[in-house]
Amino acid sequence: MLIKLSQRGATLIELFAALVLLTFIGAVSYHFLFNSYVFQERSEERIDLIQESNLLTEELRSLHQQSAAIYWDEGGNLYAASSSERKLNHHEVQVVSLSVNNEILDKNSTYTLNPNRVTFDIQLMSGRYTHEITVTTNRPEEFHYVPEEHISGESE
C-alpha cells in the first residue's frame, strides 16, 4: 500500500536558502546606503572648506584695499583688526598656517596690510580635510590721465 504525502509548503532547506539570500541582499543594501551617507558627508565637508576659502579670499582682498589689519589667534581664527571684532573664518574652519609676503606669521600676532602688493599663503582645516590657498592682491593705484598735445600719425 502506497501512502501519498502532501508536497505543499516549504522545506527547512528552502527556508534557510531564502533567509541566506535575504540576509545577503540586506547586507549589500546596508553597505551601499552607509557608503552613500559617508560619501555625502565627506563631499559636503570638502565643498564647505572650498567655499570658505573663497569667502576668505574676498575678505582679505577687501581688507587689503582698506589697509586694514588682520589678527590670527591661538584657536586658528582669523579676525579683521587687532581684536575679536570681526571673525573672517567660519567656526568649523581653522587657519592652520598663515604667511604674508613669504613671512610666516605667529599666532596671536597682528599684521597691517600696507604694501601695494600682498601675497597670502593660507592653509585651512575643516574636520579631516585641509585646503591651501594662495591669494595675491594688488591695491589699485590712482589713475592720472595726461592728454598729449599731438598723437603721432594723425593729421591736424
Residue 85 pLDDT > 80: no
Q: Tens of pLDDT along 96-105?
A: 999 989 899 8
Arithmetic mean of pLDDT, 121-146: 85
How many residues make up the chain in this entry? 156
More confident residue, 26 or 155: 26
More confident residue, 10 or 105: 105
pTM above 0.85, yes or no: no
More confident residue, 145 or 30: 30
Residue 65 pLDDT > 80: yes
